[in-house]
Amino acid sequence: MRTIVSVVGNGVCDDDSKNAKMAFEVGKALVDNGYRVMTGGLNGVMKHALRGAKASKKYKEGDTIAVLPMYDETEANEYADIVIPTGIDLARDVITANAPIVVAIGGGSGTLGEIANAWTLYRMVIALEDMDGWSSKVANTQVGERRYYKDGFEDQVWGAKTAQDVINIIQEKFKYYNMRFQGITFDGKKVKDVLK
């Protein structure tokens, strides 16, 4: 089974911007290395990541996935193979954040929300440095105070400067991400048990 990597970032950016170029390179590198690419399916970083994925010589039908906030599947960009029109607006960001690996490229408040959701869901988060937007601000930090992993593994939002850095980080660190979100807890206790 090929691991899905969600690429999140600016919904609007010029085609020749550094964020768009990086999204293309990351999308291509991911498929080159056997991953599938999922985005929110619209424009900006989302479009360029899927365009890059399709430019890979290893691209196969089904490698590009668009999770739309609206019901209308025709709103997806032209590079999406699989279109999932959720109709749940901003709540779809939790779906994109629940991919096993989330790569952030720039981005505004929506991207910041996806990063925070991915962290809460115990997902691996990689943020591109030197981009316009939130990814540069959260790279190499911890989004929250909680420590999810034991045995000395220090989780963080992993900073990357290039598409190859993204691949290297995944290959080195993804093996540690074996926890799954089990619902909101307080000191390890389920909410329903705390509120009795």
- Please give the structure tokens belonging to residue 128: 């591109």
- Higher pLDDT among residues 133 and 178, named by residue: 133
Mean pLDDT of 129-149: 89
Question: Distance between CA 117 and CA 93 in Å, rounded?
Answer: 8
User: Angle, to 10 degrees, between the axis of helix 45-55 and the axis of helix 18-32?
Assistant: 40
Domains parsed from the chain with CATH numbers: 4-194 (3.40.50.450)
Identify the three-state secondary structure at position 121. coil
pTM of the model: 0.93
Average pLDDT, whole number, for the chain?
A: 92
pLDDT in tens, 31-89: 999 999 999 999 999 999 999 999 999 999 999 999 999 999 999 999 999 999 999 99
Alpha-helical regions (H) of the chain: 18-32, 45-55, 92-97, 109-120, 134-138, 163-173, 191-194
Residue with structure tokens 């911007």?
A: 17
Using a pLDDT cut of 70, give the percent of the chain over it: 90
Looking at residue 195, what is its pLDDT? 47
